[in-house]
Amino acid sequence: MAILRYACVALSLTAGCLADMLSARLIEELARVQMKPGEVLPMVAEARKLDKSQWTATADSFQSGNPPSAAIDGSTSTFWHSQYNPNLPLPHNITIDMQQVMNINGLVLTPRQDGTSNGNIGQHTVQVSTDNKVWTTVSYGTFLDDSEVKTVPFVTTPARWLRILAATEAGNRGTWTSIADIGVTTGTLTTGSPAAIGSWGPTVEFPITLVSGAVIGSTGQLLTWSSFLPNQFTGSSTGQTFTSTYDPSTKLVTQYVISNTGHDMFCTGLSLDNQGGPIVTGGNSAPDTSRYNGGSKTWALQANMNIARGYQAHVTLSDGRVFTVGGSWSGGQGGKNGEVYDPVANKWTLLPGCPVAPMLTADAGGVYRADNHGWLFAWKNNYVFQAGPSVAMNWYGISGTGSQASAGSRTGDTDAMCGDAVMYDAVAGNILAVGGSSSYSNVPATTNAHIITIGTPPTAAKVTTVASMQYARAFANGVVLPNGQVFIVGGQSTPVPFSDDTAQFTPELWDPTTQKFTAMAPQAAARVYHSIALLMPDATVFSGGGGLCGNCATNHRDGQFFSPPYLFTSSGARATRPVISAISATTVKVGTSFSVTTGSAATQFSIIRYASTTHTVNTDQRRIPLTPTAISGTKYTLTLPSDPGVVVPGQYMVFAMNSNGVPSVAKTILVTN
């Protein structure tokens, strides 16, 4: 069972409740960002500045005394309510005419504030129009069933009309819809062709602040979670986890609470096992291990770690075991040496030969921060390569009682806490390392970029300094694309947890051929501390979340899908995508071949491991470029590398690309050894 250590009430934290969990520094950081009485979210303040006196509203129905105009009268004590006497079925809708076209980039929706929840909106779609005929969806998803103001940032879009389509009542109490107030924010249009800078899709609303995420190969779903509460991790943890899934095939966002494990899966280690299910370690429930079964969609509690941890990274090895090191954020500080988990025996074993000391950063926050978020890569011969965030790099050998050897220094870099390390070409042993900062917070992040090349362990890694990013960032996420480009998204130029100041809205795309970064279209929301980004099987990138600070201004319960330039023609239209019409096997052993048949000629192939991420760490993703070993028409024989240290067993997305570089939607294979 999880050990429930939080004997303190949320945000009225006393010295006694700190126990060995939260440092005084974090408490200070959290206290500083709590909203004062009367203070409102920045988007709310902005929306209030807009004159709504000429606006009109119509709805599919209303109850006498609760007309649609009550949702735009600037008062949150009046509200629109769909007719309930007699009751009408869902869905319901309300349309606002703002009387003039404006470039709007956000919706501020206040649920009824009279202490009753009837009519709170759950599943919904937000659409806008300039002519009341052609409508564009700017946002959709599911709101949390509470009375808090819902702020929905989206791509700046010209609009005169705005409508909200409510599909469900958030608490399933009835078939009603109610809204106390609707406001909008305005912004500037993005210029530039999607062929050059890509394009962001509608904002997807989640009922939780996204902090951790994984893409599950068996379902194609994005699985995300926060902590024991939807928007907060401090307080008396009840050993449960608020979870939300997004299904790309239905575009539905669902919510549920995992309570059977007793594991509050906040600030955990995270990786996908050799079947594609997340393994989660430590965090708020510091000794715990949980495993998700993608087939049954259930979580199960596993054996405790020997050393309680939070903020450690862990990585799935070529033999299916899981290695972890570090993690002084919870479960006590210091001495967080390595251990390994055997999921078959369900047993953790200490590795005295894998000390944490060589991978510590020189963080101003001391060991509490110095052993956080290791950049761990499973590699050949049961070695793990630790690429950072310390400027010192190490090999950890996971055989016997473990071993450690220096792998050299990331020459030209500093300690790069909360930077990103992305294995964009595992066949060549190439990792791109970017950004981060010398201490966890309150120091400038860097623009640094390096290629780290690893070979046979334990020989030292080769480090090449490449052209820097255009923007300094820590707390960003890095995602490898099917063509080997690396998308760097979000982050702050000066990392400060729970603040959106100095957020970098403009992502960058690194090209492995030119070894340069190109600025991409700006995203709608700040994606900083606790934000996540993951490659989807349709070759878009999900970027979302950030925050989780309770009554603060920086909880981000949303995300957006980015379509990289490769999904567009030079004129900016959607490119025609190659289609994988057949694949010869769904399970492929390392070193063996399978074939992919495409509808039209393909010129490039790669497989990318399905991935999970939290706190900038993603130890799963790795791209394996594959050159066909035989071609017959549009049937291509692909042969996997024979070393499971290179093609680490688990679920992979298989992509085919055409001569224009346009990727297919992926098929999924399970790689075994």
Catalytically active residues are 529
Cα–chain center distance at 18: 28
Torsion sign (Cα): 157, 162, 165, 170: positive
Q: Which two tokens stand for residue 113?
A: 């504030």
* Helix ranges, 217-373 (H): 367-370
Least distance to ligand NAG, CB of residue 69, Å: 17
Whose Cβ is closer to ligand NAG: residue 124's or residue 615's?
A: 124
Least distance to ligand NAG, CB of residue 92, Å: 7
Q: Is residue 97 at the binding interface for ligand NAG, with CB under 6 A as the rule?
A: no
Residue 67: half-sphere exposure toward Cβ, Cα within 13 Å: 6
Q: Is residue 60 at the binding interface for ligand NAG, with CB under 6 A as the rule?
A: yes
Give, in order, the Cα–Cα distances in Å from 589 to each of 529, 586, 633: 38, 10, 25
Q: Where are the beta strands (DSSP E) in 474-626?
A: 474-480, 486-492, 508-511, 516-519, 531-535, 541-545, 558-563, 580-583, 587-589, 593-598, 604-609, 612-614, 623-626
Least distance to ligand NAG, CB of residue 251, Å: 16
Whose Cβ is closer to ligand NAG: residue 62's or residue 368's?
A: 62
d(CA 255, CA 253) in angstroms, rounded, equals 7
Least distance to ligand NAG, CB of residue 161, Å: 11
Whose Cβ is closer to ligand NAG: residue 167's or residue 300's?
A: 167
Q: Is residue 139 at the binding interface for ligand NAG, with CB under 6 A as the rule?
A: no
- 3-class state of residue 174 by DSSP: coil
d(CA 440, CA 454) in angstroms, rounded, equals 26
Whose Cβ is closer to ligand NAG: residue 81's or residue 336's?
A: 81
CB 320 within 8 A of CB 273: yes
Whose Cβ is closer to ligand NAG: residue 60's or residue 146's?
A: 60
Q: Which two tokens stand for residue 28?
A: 């200070």
Least distance to ligand NAG, CB of residue 169, Å: 16
Whose Cβ is closer to ligand NAG: residue 179's or residue 624's?
A: 179
d(CA 228, CA 251) in angstroms, rounded, equals 25
Q: Is residue 93 at the binding interface for ligand NAG, with CB under 6 A as the rule?
A: yes
Whose Cβ is closer to ligand NAG: residue 93's or residue 523's?
A: 93
Residue recorded with tokens 């249009």: 189
Q: Is residue 538 at the binding interface for ligand NAG, with CB under 6 A as the rule?
A: no
CB 636 within 8 A of CB 598: yes
Q: Which two tokens stand for residue 86?
A: 């007699």
> Which amino acid would we find at residue 558?
D
d(CA 114, CA 123) in angstroms, rounded, equals 22
Cα distance from N-terminal residue to C-terminal residue, the chain:
33
Whose Cβ is closer to ligand NAG: residue 82's or residue 430's?
A: 82
- The residue among 406, 379, 411 whose CA lies nearest residue 395 is 406
Q: Is 621 exposed, middle or buried (0-12, 13-18, 19+ CB in 10 A)?
A: buried
Tell which positions 143-172 bind ligand NAG, by CB under 6 A: 165
Whose Cβ is closer to ligand NAG: residue 137's or residue 672's?
A: 137
Nearest residue to ligand NAG by CB is 60
Whose Cβ is closer to ligand NAG: residue 141's or residue 482's?
A: 141
Least distance to ligand NAG, CB of residue 89, Å: 9
d(CA 525, CA 536) in angstroms, rounded, equals 20
Least distance to ligand NAG, CB of residue 59, Å: 8
d(CA 436, CA 223) in angstroms, rounded, equals 26
Q: State the Cα torsion 623-624-627-632 to the nearest 10°.
A: -90
Least distance to ligand NAG, CB of residue 246, Å: 22
> With contacts defined by CB under 6 A, how many residues of the chain interact with ligand NAG?
3
Backbone φ and ψ of 162, nearest 5°? -135, 135
Least distance to ligand NAG, CB of residue 61, Å: 7
CB 666 within 8 A of CB 611: no
Q: State the Cα torsion 59-64-69-75 to the nearest 10°.
A: -130
Tell which positions 422-441 bind ligand NAG, by CB under 6 A: none
CB 285 within 8 A of CB 263: yes
Least distance to ligand NAG, CB of residue 207, Å: 22
Return all residues near 530 (Cβ < 8 A) that are at least 6 apart. 209, 210, 211, 475, 497, 545, 546, 547, 548, 614, 615
Residue recorded with tokens 């070193």: 591
Please tell me what DSSP assigns to residue 641: -
Indicate the pairing of strand 558-563 with strand 580-583. unpaired
Whose Cβ is closer to ligand NAG: residue 165's or residue 215's?
A: 165
Give, in order, the Cα–Cα distances in Å from 7 to each of 200, 202, 602: 42, 41, 59
Least distance to ligand NAG, CB of residue 141, Å: 17
Contact residues for ligand NAG (CB under 6 A)? 60, 93, 165
